[in-house]
Amino acid sequence: MSDTEKTGSAHLKQPLLWGRFSPLVLIVALIGLVLDQATKLWLVHGFDLAANGPVGLLPVVDIVLVWNRGISYGLFQQHSDLGRWLLAGLTVVVTVGLWIWSARCASRLLALALALVIGGAVGNGIDRLAYGAVVDFVHFHVGTFSWYVFNLADVWIVAGVVGLLYDSFQNGPNSAAK
């Protein structure tokens, strides 16, 4: 058998939807999703942050209600139904792609990083479908400096991206793509 045939047959044997770390990815993504949605539901409906906020927690942290109709850092704001549904569709496509990647990954760190991104993406996607915007509520500020307002799903996504970057540098170029 030639090297090309071996590579081709090995590539075909890679799992598409369920792999070695898929149970870990599913559990971590679900835990992240549940924590994200529980905090948002409580702040929006239980505490009624729109009526009772903002709430100062620390001199540098407030809980405020911001409806983000865009993506990260409020980029690409969408005020139409078409834009909302396009962003929701993009979330689905990206999440499926990340899941397929996670089914093929060979390290626990990479699987954990992908799980965090998936959990965060699904959490923000649910908001977009339910409210037409993502619920953001944590606001860091120091003096006149104000950081963007974010939620737990954003924390999961950033932590996952940090894990992906660490994995790519830890194992050499192109390791995350394997």
* Catalytic positions: 136, 154
Q: Give the bridge partners for 136, in sequence order.
A: 66
Inter-residue contact 26 to 122 (CB < 8 Å): no
Displacement of CA 103 from its chain's centroid (Å): 17
Cβ pair 135, 40 in contact under 8 A: yes
Distance CA 155, CA 152 (A): 5
| Cα dihedral value 77, 75, 128, 118, nearest 10 | 160
